[in-house]
């Protein structure tokens, strides 16, 4: 006769008749709706804050600073002319190019070439940095009517502040 023995641990803890599961109720739906509305409100607020600085009279300016001092500023709005700036310093040479809607560091004799590889800057808040020359090229949004420039129109700046 073949008798199977039941382990003692199984005899003490019988298997449950029903396994617990998730049951959806109206409070779960309310929580999901609340999370969705908060996410949509946050996204809308960031979108409006990012576009608040730009108006019909807004333009873009490229600003080159060396050692924290502004050495060159160029208007890169849609009607601007192509401009170049040669920077000759103790450590070497650098060329900055500005065209309508964009600017870049087109040449630098620094060893790593990170500033040149950054490429074209097209939106307010973007920047290219050359550490050996201690130079920073930044794109700013400018209000032509008021004559001032600010970095607040970039969506990245709105999120990081």
Total structural domains within the chain:
1
Q: Model confidence over 59-103: pLDDT tens digits?
A: 888 999 988 889 999 888 877 788 888 988 767 889 999 998 899
Residue with tokens 């001032």: 148
The gap from C-alpha 11 to its chain's centroid, in whole angstroms, comes to 61
Residues 6+ apart with CB under 8 A from 56: none
Domain residues for the domain of 97 are 58-160
Residue 23 lies in a domain: no
The answer to whether position 114 is within a domain reads yes
For the question of whether the overall pTM of this predicted structure is more than 0.85, the answer is no
Is 24 a domain residue?
no
| E runs forming strands in the chain | 58-66, 69-75, 83-88, 93-99, 102-108, 127-130, 135-143, 148-150
Looking up residue 152, the CATH number of its domain turns out to be 2.60.320.10
Answer yes or no: is 44 within a domain. Answer: no
Confirm whether 17 is domain-assigned.
Answer: no
**C-alpha–C-alpha distance, residues 26 and 38, integer Å:** 18
Read off the pLDDT of residues 28-56 as tens digits, 9 standing for 90 and up.
Answer: 889 999 999 999 999 998 887 766 655 44
């Amino acid at each position: 006769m073949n008798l199977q023995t039941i382990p003692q641990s199984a005899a003490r803890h019988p298997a449950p008749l029903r396994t617990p599961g998730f049951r959806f109720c109206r409070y779960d739906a309310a929580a999901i709706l609340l999370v969705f509305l908060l996410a949509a409100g946050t996204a809308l607020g960031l979108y409006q804050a990012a576009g608040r600085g730009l108006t019909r009279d807004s333009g873009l300016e490229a600003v080159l600073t060396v050692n924290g001092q502004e050495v060159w500023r160029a208007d890169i709005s849609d009607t601007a002319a192509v401009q170049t700036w040669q920077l000759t310093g103790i450590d070497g040479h650098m060329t900055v190019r500005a065209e309508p809607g964009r600017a870049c560091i087109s040449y630098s004799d620094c060893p790593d070439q990170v500033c040149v590889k950054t490429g074209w800057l097209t939106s307010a808040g973007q920047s290219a940095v050359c550490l050996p020359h201690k130079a920073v090229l930044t794109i700013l949004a400018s209000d032509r009517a008021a004559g001032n420039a600010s970095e607040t129109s970039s969506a990245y700046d709105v999120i990081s502040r």
